[in-house]
Structure 1
Amino acid sequence: MNSDIVVGKWKQLKGQMTQWWAEWFDDDSAWMTGNNDWLSGILQEDYGKRQEGVSSEETPH
């Protein structure tokens, strides 16, 4: 598993927890921070999956 995938999943979890905390305490700036972390985690995980797919393809000789 690519490290980008793991880091992306961690960012998603951290973002979701920050969003939950922000909703609990009604903090809009924390909610935006959590949302940005969550989105960047999705993008980083997708990048890692694509990178892993490209590296696993065989090159023709």
Structure 2
Amino acid sequence: MNWDQIAGRWKQVRGHVKREWGRLTEDDVDRVDGQREKLVGLIQEAYGIEREEADRQIRNWFSRL
């Protein structure tokens, strides 16, 4: 699976995102709309972490899908 497939199935995947990053609100997840860079930024902001760490978390999550 690649990120384009995630973006295309965003409505199905959004529940997985909420479970992984519980601090993100429904509105946050809706705003991401499958865009990886937006997700990185929101995770970074919500958890107060560096961009590289947010990116690493997304890669790890993505590998488990």
- When the two structures are superposed, what TM-score results if normalisation uses the length of structure 1? 0.33
Q: Which of the pair has more CA radius of gyration?
A: 1
